[in-house]
Structure 1
Amino acid sequence: MQQESELGQSVLKGVSRSFYLTIRLLPRLMREPVSLGYLLARASDTIADTAEVPAQLRHECLSLFLTAMRDPEARKKLLDKINQEFLEYQTNEKERLLLERLGEVFSWYDSVWEWSWNEIAAVMEHIVAGQMSDIQRFGIDGEDRLATADELETYCFQVAGSVGEFWTRVGFQTDHRFSGIEKDELIKLGISYGKGLQLVNILRDIPEDYANGRSYLPVEGALSHDQLLEEAAIWRAKARKSIKDGLKYAKSLRGKRARMATVLPALIALKTLDLLDEADWDQLYDGVKVTRKEVRKCIWQALLF
């Protein structure tokens, strides 16, 4: 229990200070599955993003990751590959620590209630599928963009919309009075909310992706600043609509702690979209980020929400 507590606090805090705050606001019974799910997703994401490792090997390791969640032999094989192929390239000490302790995270996963085990397995299937398709498209096939709006919607569901569904299922499992909205309807809102949060990340990172020769936005013709900015305006409007679904989701929750934890990312995302609406390419390149002062305001707004 002490080891699990440390993983769910110090290790998790190291790899995500902002989401760590959200998790700490959650009711106790929701906190464990959400913390554990996040650590597993962050570990698979670190594997996916280790660019120094060949794309084909990263793709194979992600496929092995899912098998390792239920198969001890596959788990040992994966952990050996991480030690041999990935650790030396981790310049972020916190992400390196997470990979070093991934065996402990898996052991924690083995110890949870069956319902929690199943829900985490389900959301990880979606997340890893999105990460694998990302590597296949950009790293193996050599494409430079998503071809259609549907592809972007699918990707956003896999890596984030599915988390909104997971959040909802965990919420109802731990509190049958979780929301004043019926479960199936709340799942739809949760999926939309998660997709909106992922769109905000994509829109904020457009210059970085452009510098790496890729775009998550389905623009036509050669990639250019003007095209990307024009397409971004369309997707910012979609993101804002999805984040408003998140506000509706949060407002329906009966528990104060769950409501605060759920609404906080939405408030920060709306502030980010406001900044993105006003930013030109150079400002986007320099990085658009909500200030700590504004984050503190969002926390107070979440407390009063």
Structure 2
Amino acid sequence: MDIETLLKNTSRSLYLSVRALPRSMRPAFGIAYLLCRYADTIADTPVLPSSRRLYWIERFPHLLLEQDPAEAARLAQEISGGTENPYEAELVKNLMPCLELLNNISSEQRENITDVVSAVCEGMKTDLSFFPNESAPEPKAFDTPAELERYCRLMGGKPGLFWSRLIYGTADIHMPEEEFYELGQHIGDALQIVNILRDLPKDLRIGRCYFPRTDLEKAGLTAAELLDSANSARFEPVKRKWIAWGLANLKSGKKYFPQLPKSQPGQRAAVAWPILWTADTFFKVYREPDILNPSKRVKISRSVIYSTMLVTPLLLASNTLFCNWLDKKLRKFK
């Protein structure tokens, strides 16, 4: 199996970041991403009822450890035909080759990979057990902000921790280990909440409202009312609150990025790009007045991606320039 081809075809901007990584980091990061993507395919497949998807999501971390070929084949058989994406279909057929690649990685990195896959699966268990099934007549909301923050930590923060552990094991970081890891989790939290914000209309239509009932009540809304895009203006205070939460987490990048050695430009680029692109995406969400409209797809353009890459050499050469560039993006939120 060609891992780079699978990565390229199942991701977009992330693949660019992987290509920039030092070669020593690429296998662990690539396998972790593909295994998390495999779990995501299980959680989203329309060919299984939610109860069966929940069973396989609960089993998936154990499958990585036990590596039973018969069980892996049974899983692939049950979810085959569940995606129209030919590259995801190819991934579904290649679980055992992925696990063989996992076995070739150091024991420390294997443990790091199984930890992040387990955390992501825990978040997916929430999707499948807390929320109603996709055909429910109206969405269900989390009850409290703490539930949304926990979900962001599982789906974004823990991958940020995985990333930070990889970096700490391959680079000369002068910051205390736990402080560096916590900053990485904050950045991951920001990446997750911006995804939740931009995917809001789609998630609502499969029964999921990640924004807490307590916040909606303050705005005079229910989760069901978010299905009507005419309520976008009423939702604005909730949107602004969670943008502010995400930006506060994203600011951790100003302490995190300068820790990365200038002798590792690829590693610095792979950290700088997601942070800057997330700031750009937050601004797109911030400026979108019709955020509940499912026809409005909020995403940054390829021109934004490539223009960021164009100025990368300047940003990588100077911690001050990077922090100033990020500050410039964050000052737009007024």
Same fold (TM over 0.5): yes
- Structure 1 equivalent of residue 24 of structure 2: 29
Separation in 1 of the partners of 2:293 and 2:27?
36
Aligned partner of residue 29 in structure 1, secondary structure: coil
- Structure 2 equivalent of residue 231 of structure 1: 238
Q: What's the CA shift string for 1:52-88, capped at 9, x where partnerless?
A: 4101100101111111111133x521431321x2111
Separation in 2 of the partners of 1:284 and 1:187?
37
- Structure 2 equivalent of residue 251 of structure 1: 258
> By percentage of residues, which structure has more helix?
1
User: Does residue 290 of the first structure (1) align with residue 300 of the second (2)?
Assistant: yes
- Structure 2 equivalent of residue 160 of structure 1: 156
- Structure 2 equivalent of residue 222 of structure 1: 222
Shift of the 24–284 alpha-carbon distance from structure 1 to 2, 3 Å rule, reads farther
Moved more, 227-236 or 22-31: 227-236
Q: Counterpart amino acid of 2:222? A: A
TM-score, with length taken from structure 2: 0.84
- Pairwise CA RMSD of aligned residues? 1.9
Q: What's the CA shift string for 1:221-262, capped at 9, x where partnerless?
A: 522334533211100111112122124312321122111110
Shift of the 52–199 alpha-carbon distance from structure 1 to 2, 3 Å rule, reads same
Residues 93-132 of structure 1 correspond to what in structure 2 (within 5 A)? 93-132=86-125
Checking the alignment, whether the CA contact within 8 Å between 2:17 and 2:270 is kept in structure 1 is yes
Shift of the 301–146 alpha-carbon distance from structure 1 to 2, 3 Å rule, reads farther
- Structure 2 equivalent of residue 181 of structure 1: 175
- Structure 2 equivalent of residue 44 of structure 1: 39
Equivalences, count: 296
Aligned partner of residue 13 in structure 2, secondary structure: helix
Larger Rg: 2
TM-score, with length taken from structure 1: 0.91
Unaligned regions of 5+ residues in structure 1, if any?
Answer: none
Checking the alignment, whether the CA contact within 8 Å between 1:276 and 1:284 is kept in structure 2 is no
Q: 1:270 aligns with which of 275, 279, 301?
A: 279
- Structure 2 equivalent of residue 213 of structure 1: 207
Separation in 2 of the partners of 1:238 and 1:111?
39
Separation in 1 of the partners of 2:205 and 2:81?
25
Separation in 1 of the partners of 2:166 and 2:140?
37
